[in-house]
A and B are shown apart, each in its own frame.
Chain A
Amino acid sequence: DAGVIQSPRHEVTEMGQEVTLRCKPISGHNSLFWYRQTMMRGLELLIYFNNNVPIDDSGMPEDRFSAKMPNASFSTLKIQPSEPRDSAVYFCASISGTGDEKLFFGSGTQLSVL
């Protein structure tokens, strides 16, 4: 298995632009998570889906952030409009949901908002 796949690996954009991050979870995993890593707050959960349904979005910082999971193999995290304080590494992760609680992470998207 290729693992969790995220794209792009790096994104540089200007303040006010829309940013879309993409994720393909491990095939067969039924839960998908979006995490963000910053120097100030470390790794924090933004939102997670179970069977494509958003379960908990309490970590989403503002309405500028939105996430979708249209099918079991694809999810997006969108920031519109982006701000410099959104600069961070965004990780997608998935879990099998069979009771094995190991979370598998993608390589992350390094986002820089200028």
Chain B
Amino acid sequence: DQQVKQNSPSLSVQEGRISILNCDYTNSMFDYFLWYKKYPAEGPTFLISISSIKDKNEDGRFTVFLNKSAKHLSLHIVPSQPGDSAVYFCAASLYNQGGKLIFGQGTELSVKP
């Protein structure tokens, strides 16, 4: 049973437009949510996170929204740049279990010039 789901395996966006990546989860006990970005032949790198007590966190071009009632989070990238092309993983953890992450399957974002 997949506790964290990213239903879109791929997304293609034009440079300068908004990219919206979605993630759903089933475990209401998840306390912390993270987005990781992965380029080919590299390890995932941390992008942005949000605690369950918040509904929005912003860092530059990246914003994560959390809707706890819907068990849904999304990552917005505005404006999208070709260098943002990568696989994006949504991840979740329980309280006080930092590093013990449950990952989604990933969404491959392609930003076209």
Contacts and interface: CB of A to CB of B under 8 A. Distances in A.
Contacts of B101: 43, 45, 103
Interface stretch (A67-75, A76-84, A105-113): A105-113
Nearest to B103: A43
A104 B46 contact: yes
Given A101-B93, A102-B49, A45 B100 contact: yes
A101 B99 contact: yes
Contacts of A45: 100-101
In this complex, the member of A33, A42, A94 whose beta carbon has the largest number of chain B beta carbons within 10 angstroms is A42
Contacts of A48: 99-100
Interface residues of A, number: 24
A65 B67 CA distance: 39
Contact of A43 (B34, B44, B99): B44
A59 to B, nearest CB: 9
B contact patch SS: loop
A107 B43 contact: yes
Contact of A103 (B42, B46, B105): B46
Interface in A37-92: 42-45, 48, 56, 91
B100 A56 contact: yes
A107 B89 contact: no
Contact of A101 (B32, B41, B44, B89): B32
A21 interface: no
Interface of B: 32, 34, 36, 41-46, 49, 89, 93, 98-101, 103-106
Interface of A: 4, 31, 33, 42-45, 48, 56, 91, 93-95, 97, 99-108
Nearest 7 interchain pairs by C-beta:
A105-B43, A101-B98, A43-B103, A95-B99, A102-B46, A42-B105, A103-B99
26 contacts: A33-B100, A42-B103, A42-B106, A43-B44, A43-B103, A43-B106, A48-B100, A56-B100, A97-B98, A99-B98, A100-B98, A101-B32, A101-B93, A101-B98, A101-B99, A103-B46, A103-B98, A103-B99, A104-B46, A105-B36, A105-B43, A107-B41, A107-B42, A107-B43, A108-B42, A108-B43
